[in-house]
Amino acid sequence: MKSLDGLKQAPRAWYEKLTEHLLKLNFNHFDLNDATLFVKKVGKTVVYLVVYVDDLLMTRNNESYIASIKKELGKSFEMTDLGYVHYYLGIEVTQHPKSIFLSQEKYIGDLLNRFGMTECNPLTTPMEQNLKLTSIEGKEFEDETKYKQLVGSLNYLTTTRPDISFAI
C-alpha cells in the first residue's frame, strides 16, 4: 500500500482504507452511530477493535485468533504491536486474570496541575448540596477558552466517573 502521508485528506483516506480492509475481514460497525468501534464474531470468539486517529486498540476472548488478525492487517498496513494496553487516551488500564480496572487518576492529577487546583480539599460529594445557580450571580470568566477547556476535560473525566456527571 502506498503511504498516505502528506495528502490533505490523508487521515480520511487512511480511515476509509482501514474500514474497507476491516469489512473484508468480516468486521462490522458495532453501532452505526459510532464509526470507531468494529466487532467481529466467529462462533464463540469475539474481537473488538477501536480506532482513534491512527491507533488501533483490540481486545478479544481468544488469544490465538487476534494474532491472525494482526498478521492480516500487517499485510496492508505498517503496524507496531505495543502489547497489552496500560494507558490509552487518558485512561489507565490495569489487567488482572479475570478483570480489567479503568482509572483516570493520572488524568485527574494532570488536570488539577493544569488548572492550579492541586491544593484543593477533596469532597465526598462532587457538588455542593442544594446549590442554586443563576445566570445573574457570580463573576465573568477572565479566560473563556480556559473555562471551555476545563469543562471539556471534566466531561471527558465522566468516562470512568459517571457519578460526577450531574455536577459536570
Position 9 confidence tier, pLDDT thresholds 50, 70, 90: low
What is the percent of the chain where pLDDT is above 90? 18
Question: How far is the C-alpha of 12 from the C-alpha of 159, rounded, in Å?
Answer: 26
Q: What is the pLDDT of residue 22?
A: 92
Render pLDDT for 59-109 as a digit per residue (tens, 0 to 9): 888 777 888 888 888 888 888 888 888 988 888 999 888 888 888 889 989
pTM of the entire predicted model: 0.68
With a CB cutoff of 8 Å and minimum separation 6, the contacts of 27 are 38, 39, 40, 47, 49
Share of the chain above pLDDT 70, in %: 93
Q: How far apart are CA 166 and CA 163, in angstroms?
A: 7
Mean pLDDT on 145-161: 87
What burial class does residue 49 get, using C-beta atoms within 10 Å of its C-beta: 0-12 exposed, 13-18 middle, 19+ buried? buried
Is residue 113 over pLDDT 90? yes
